[in-house]
Amino acid sequence: MTKNNIIGLVIIVGLLIGYSLWMTPSKEEMAAAKRKADSISQVQRADSLQAVMAEMAAKAAADSAVKANPAGAIVAGADSSNSGFGISPRSEEKFYTLESDLLKLKISSRGGRIWSVQLKDYKTFDTLPLILFKGDSTQFGFEFNTEDLRTLNTANLMFVPAGMAGKDSLRVSGKDSLQFALRVYPGKADSVASKSYIEFVYTLKGDDYMVGYKVNFVGMKGYIAQNTRDLSLLWGATLLQQEKSLKTEESQSTIYYMDAAGEVNNLKETKNSTERISTPVKWVSFKQQFFSASLIASDKFESADVETIGHPIENTDRLVKTMKSAFILPFTIDADQTYNMKWYFGPNKYKVLRKYDLNLERQIPLGWSFFLLQWINRGPVLWVFNWLESFNISYGIIILILTILLKIVLFPIAWKTYISSAKMRILKPEIEEINQKYPKKDDAMKKQQATMTLYKKAGVNPMAGCVPMLLQFPILIALFRFFPASFELRQQSFLWATDLSSYDSIFSWSAHIPIISTFYGNHVSLFTLLMTISTIIYTKMNNDMMGSTQQMPGMKTMMYLMPIMFLGFFNNYSAGLSYYYLLANLFTFAQMFVIRRFVNEDKLHKRIQENKAKPVKKSSFQKRLEEMTKQQQQKAIRK
């Protein structure tokens, strides 16, 4: 391994360690996050997200009032304080269930909102039903001013079914679909005969994660303020833990959004974040590690404010993050208004999200910022995964086959790298002679010139070993992004690992050990341990092949320390990734063994000596180097 290789690896390790330290919250940050979560209802914001906070507090107060007086509860809007929006004082909150082959939605009459979402085909890491969010920690409603200029939110109004014929539960399967409508009427009316109402219409298909959502404002003139030009739509939810590693899930959960031009952006995953999006927005998604809840406009939202709030990792309520959004929609009081939207509740699986043609798949971190990384992951890697998946074999075997295929494709590069290393090893005694001949720093240019002349005569390119490594580097980084983000590995067991998308553990402890618990964790990942051992063995073999160096004596020790540094980082990472790197190291050992059997270094040495005997035409670089050397010597003589 050359000096350039070593410097490059040191830089990579430094970046990874820096990133690990940056994403680890300090005790002060964790305490601040806890205080913020505990007192969130008291925080007042200077921007439009203040409305979201106020509505959360109003909802909590309304719920408390209903629980205190369930028999005769009057919701906000049941009297003149809300310009006549209301229902019978004896009405209570009711729940309606819409169920398909994939989803189970619970819809509340209070606000007509989706109260909870269950994904039927999936379980949490501890085999509980997978609930994306629950009504106790969600907020959804349209906010506007009434005729008497009071602020009203549909989240506080009681809706009634329109044409449900007394059913509290509806089910659909296969290619069929169903519609379920809820309405709230102004005044004291709750009759379908009224020509003024706000209506929410949900459309559910049997085999689809997408849920149709249409909002109708009918005959609102006289009830909504005459000068109303837009409405605010407020949506917030606290997402629940689904995966084994809460820390990893929290670090990969945030808000994604796509603007009208098709560009997808996101808030930072590692810290609380707020953003005001002044341009039109097509969709906003509350994204977790492997699942998302997305609100999609048929046309666009005029603008949006979004915010994420983290929770302490040690919280006992399985809370990942609280996410909030506030949208602006245009409104005309003189005409009925219809807003067509959709909800996506489902997995962050590439082929599922891709079929909707909305760029939802860009929530999956496949290396979108660099075209080569995304091409590798979206192309050959996913294709191989999906193809092998059709044979219904273990994902551990799929990773094994993928590693073999990659090593076959990269074998010419491995061959080129080995030949280059062998040539450099053969020339090493002569390089050391040149170093001894020019020991002074003032002779650095002469030493460089002599070394380049030797390489030229021998027909050796000193960069030949670096270029193959650079060609392999995008694949290395692409797979580093792919395995932790691969939904296919979720809850897939192999050998001792129960979930290849999370860490494997052969031993764990609960006590907090300073430094070890912070940087390594409270468990031992066997795949990571084996990967580290194999990397150290590979480093030893590589150093033995290259021979010792006198130029940077401390660098050899650093090369052995780097795998140990990686141990703390990968211990909490995807077991599938550590397993892949372990396999890659083992196959590299096998490749080196095979290549050494087929490469005759004596013949290679003889060929190099023959090349040295041939006359060599000086390159333009050598000419410039010699000219610089002469100029340096002349300057030294003048002095």
Q: What is the pLDDT of residues 493-525, one digit of tens each?
A: 999 999 998 888 888 888 878 878 777 878 889
Average pLDDT score, the chain: 78
**């997995």: which residue's tokens?**
347
Question: Where residue 633 falls among pLDDT bands split at 50, 70, 90?
Answer: low
Q: What is the mean pLDDT of residues 275-279?
A: 90
What angle, rounded to 10 degrees, do the helices at 3-23 and 466-485 form? Answer: 20
Q: What is the pLDDT of residue 604?
A: 66
Q: pLDDT value at position 201?
A: 95
- Taking residues 258-271, report their average pLDDT: 88
Q: For residue 484, what pLDDT band results from cuts at 50, 70 and 90?
A: confident
Q: Place 296 in a pLDDT band, splitting at 50, 70 and 90.
A: very high
Q: Is 553 a residue whose pLDDT tops 70?
A: no
At a CB cut-off of 8 Å and minimum separation 6, what does 230 contact? 302, 328, 329, 330, 331
pTM listed for this prediction: 0.74
Q: Taking 50 as the threshold, does the pLDDT of residue 42 lie above it?
A: no
Bridge partner list, 182: 161, 200
* pLDDT at 386 (0 to 100): 84
State the pLDDT confidence band at 37, using cuts at 50, 70 and 90.
Answer: very low
pLDDT band at 33 (very low <50, low <70, confident <90, very high): very low
With the C-alpha atoms ordered 92, 93, 98, 104, is the resulting torsion angle positive or negative? negative
In whole angstroms, what is the distance from residue 594 CA to residue 596 CA?
Answer: 5
Tell me which residue of 375, 394, 373, 397 sits closest to 491, measured CA to CA: 394
Q: What's the rounded Cα separation, in Å, for the pair 405 and 399?
A: 10
- Which stretches does DSSP call E strand in 155-302? 160-161, 169-171, 177-184, 197-205, 210-218, 230-240, 254-259, 264-266, 273-277, 281-287, 291-301
pLDDT, position 129? 94
Q: Name the band, by pLDDT with cuts 50, 70 and 90, for residue 614.
A: low
CB-facing half-sphere around the CA of 537: CA atoms within 13 A: 15
- The phi and psi torsions of 35 (rounded to 5 degrees) equal -65, -40
Span 136-167, pLDDT tens digits: 788 999 999 888 778 889 998 989 888 765 67
State what percent of residues in the chain have pLDDT above 90: 31
Residue with tokens 């083992």: 586
| C-alpha to C-alpha distance for 314 and 25, rounded to whole angstroms | 12
Domain definitions of the chain by residue range: 1-38+503-573, 47-364, 365-497+575-639
Q: In whole angstroms, what separates CA 24 from the centre of its chain?
A: 16
Query: Does the structure show a pLDDT above 80 at 329?
Result: yes
Using one digit for the tens of pLDDT, what is the confidence trace for 88-124?
Answer: 444 688 999 999 999 999 999 999 999 999 999 999 9
User: What pLDDT is attached to residue 123?
Assistant: 94
Contact criterion met (CB below 8 Å) for 525 and 571: yes
Highest averaged pLDDT of the listed ranges 413-422, 428-437, 456-465, 492-501:
492-501
Q: Give dist(CA 166, CA 454) in Å, integer.
A: 92
Q: What is the model's pLDDT at position 188?
A: 56
- 206-210, 392-396, 622-626: least confidently modelled range: 622-626
Sequence-distant (6+) residues with CB within 8 A of 207 are 100, 101, 102, 173, 174, 175
CATH-assigned architecture of domain 47-364: Distorted Sandwich (2.70)
pLDDT tens digits, residue range 351-380? 999 999 999 999 998 877 777 777 888 878
pLDDT band at 471 (very low <50, low <70, confident <90, very high): low
pLDDT score of 22:
52
- The DSSP result for 566-624, as a single string, is HHHHHTTS-HHHHHHHHHHHHHHHHHHHHHHHH--HHHHHHHHHHHHHS--PPPHHHHH
pLDDT tens-digit profile of 205-234?
999 999 999 999 998 888 888 888 999 999
> What percentage of the chain carries pLDDT values higher than 70?
72
DSSP-assigned letter for residue 517: I
Structural contact between residues 342 and 211, judged by C-beta atoms closer than 8 angstroms: yes
Question: Exposure of 304 by Cβ count < 10 A (0-12 exposed, 13-18 middle, 19+ buried)?
Answer: buried
Residue 27 has pLDDT above 80, yes or no: no
Q: What angle in degrees, to the nearest 10, is found between the helix axes of 3-23 and 555-570?
A: 30
State the Cα angle at 245 between 242 and 247, rounded to 5°.
105
